[in-house]
Amino acid sequence: MLKVYEATCTAPINIAVIKYWGKRDTKLNLPTNSSLSVTLSQDDLHTKTTCRAAPELKADKLWLNGKEEIIAQNKRLTNVINEMRAQRKKLEENDNSLPKIADYKLHICSANNFPTAAGLASSAAGFACLTFSLATLYQLKLDNVELSTIARTGSGSACRSLQGGYVAWEMGEKEDGSDSHAIQVASREHWPDMQAIILVVNDAKKKTSSTLGMQHTVATSPLIQHRIKHVVPKAMEDMKTAIQNKDFDSFAEITMRDSNSFHAVCADTFPPIYYMNDISRAVVNAVHDYNAAKAAMGSAQKYTVAYTFDAGPNAVLYVQKKDADNVLGVISRIFPAAEDKNIYSGFNFNDQEIDEVLAKMNTPIYPQMNAFKRIIATKVGDGPRVLANE
């Protein structure tokens, strides 16, 4: 019987603290600025992909969360699959002992372990996982930095999900994109205390996709030129230093400022793009009030918690482990849960410590019950994993 070749891998999501927004090449997803993200734990959120190559398969096929995607109609998928197959072909041409599997058709099955409806960016984990599992199947001798340039052609932010910990996507200069890749700034172990709380905002409104949104911004916003030239380069350097030094105050301030800068260029786009909503803005105010209250209570830190928002209303809070329970506890009071559907059940809060901080804050209670659909508490994590390879 002819052999079936198969690999199954998982890949993490990442949330940028310095945002990618703008392309200088829309086919290769080459960005107009470098960006930096934190990879989140795959124990909580991941994409899992199985790739199979076998002689009896008649056509390349791909299923995403159980639904078939027509590969030929999806340029992002063909970019990645064609390149990975070309890489395998090159290997086979140079080594006659290798089985000729590049010519076999592929069946690919990919699923997220979190609901797509949660509004979380799943394309980063998805394209990182597709690239990594094909590299595993084809036994390519490319490292994760080289693989990141291929994942990038599927979705820009995907290149950062090939590494764990703290990851910089260096924009590069070359036209072919070969130097536009993701590099690890620091591993998870370097600063393992970093936690993320994702507040999934209840919002059914349709948003402008990142791909289209950033193209409108580049075409119409004068402010983005300032961001690209004068804001991001310094923020990248300062953020790398903050991470090296495990300096949460600097990490938090750069993160919040960059989120604000990104949403400012969205507002400067013409017509403007608004991703944040009233709930998002209430979270921003609550975080600033919380930080001020803790500082007034004698905390050695200027900032205890930082927010960041991607192309949607969901808030991602970065916080160190020691502060995570209190931050979420205070959030649970400002954004109360409905009695019949408590989104905070499962967390253990210290009411007295929460009361102490709340007494120093003047933040109004948000009027809508369950302003959040879901709360995901997670932490910094590692890069993609191989689960099976035969």
Q: Per rule CB under 6 A, is residue 35 in the interface with ligand DP6?
A: yes
Q: Report the amino acid identity of residue 370.
A: N
Using CB under 6 A, which of 64, 311, 330, 357 touches ligand DP6?
311
Beta-carbon neighbour count of residue 288 at 10 Å? Answer: 16
Amino acid at 190: H
Q: Does 310 bind ligand DP6 (CB under 6 A)?
A: yes
Is residue 263 within the footprint of ligand DP6 (CB under 6 A)?
Answer: no
Name the segment binding ligand DP6 (CB under 6 A); options: 12-20, 219-227, 313-321, 333-341: 12-20
Q: Nearest approach, Cβ of 31 to ligand DP6 (angstroms)?
A: 8
CA atoms within 13 A on the CB side of 18: 29
Q: Which is nearer to ligand DP6, 39 or 332 (CB)?
A: 39
Instruction: Give phi and psi for 59, each to the nearest 5.
Output: -155, 155
Shortest separation between residue 119's beta carbon and ligand DP6, angstroms: 12
Among 39, 42, 210, 280, binds ligand DP6 (CB under 6 A): 210
According to the binding rule CB under 6 A, does residue 13 interact with ligand DP6? no
Q: Which of 187, 211, 220, 285 binds ligand DP6 (CB under 6 A)?
A: 211
Of 8, 29, 208, 255, the one binding ligand DP6 by CB under 6 A: 29
**Structure tokens given for 13:** 């999501």
Sign of CA dihedral 367, 372, 377, 381: negative
Name the token pair of 378.
Answer: 């997670």
Cα–Cα distance for residue pair 344/320, rounded to 1 Å: 19
DSSP structure string for 146-196: HHHHHHHHH-GGGGGGGS-SEEEEE----TT-TT-EEEEEE-GGGSTTEEE
Q: Which H helix or E strand runs over 52? A: strand 46-54
CB–CB of 374/118 below 8 Å?
A: yes
- In sequence order, the β-bridge partners of residue 242 are none
* Helices then strands, each counted (H, E), the chain: 10, 16
> CA nearest 88: which of 96, 100, 80, 105?
100
- 42 binds ligand DP6 per the rule CB under 6 A: no
CB-nearer residue toward ligand DP6: 19 or 181: 19
Q: Is 121 in the site for ligand DP6 (CB under 6 A)?
A: yes
Question: Please, which of residues 55-84 interact with ligand DP6 by CB under 6 A?
Answer: none
Binding of ligand DP6 by 215 (CB under 6 A): no
> According to the binding rule CB under 6 A, does residue 156 interact with ligand DP6?
yes
Report the residue number, 101 or 228, with the smaller CB distance to ligand DP6.
Answer: 228
Residue type for position 115 = P
Q: Quote the least distance from Cβ 312 to ligand DP6, whole Å.
A: 8
Q: 241, 47 in Cβ contact below 8 A?
A: no
| Non-local CB neighbours of 346 within 8 Å, separated by 6+ positions | none
d(CA 118, CA 336): 19
Q: How far is the CB of 15 from ligand DP6 (least distance, A)?
A: 7
Query: Least distance to ligand DP6 from the beta carbon of 335, Å?
Result: 23
Nearest approach, Cβ of residue 265 and ligand DP6 (Å):
11
The residue count for binding ligand DP6 (CB under 6 A) is 14
The residue at minimum Cβ distance from ligand DP6 is 156
The Cα–Cα gap between 358 and 369 comes to 19
**Is it true that the peptide bond before 55 is cis, omega within 30 degrees of 0?**
no
How far is Cα 272 from Cα 277, in angstroms, rounded to an integer? 14
Stretch of residues binding ligand DP6 (CB under 6 A), selected from 15-23, 59-67, 175-183, 189-197: 15-23
Using rule CB under 6 A, residue 280 touches ligand DP6: no
Instruction: Rule CB under 6 A: say whether 20 interacts with ligand DP6.
Output: yes
Please identify which residue in 32, 149, 157, 161 interacts with ligand DP6, judged by CB under 6 A.
Answer: 157
Binding site for ligand DP6 (CB under 6 A): 16, 19-20, 29, 35, 121, 123, 155-157, 210-211, 310-311
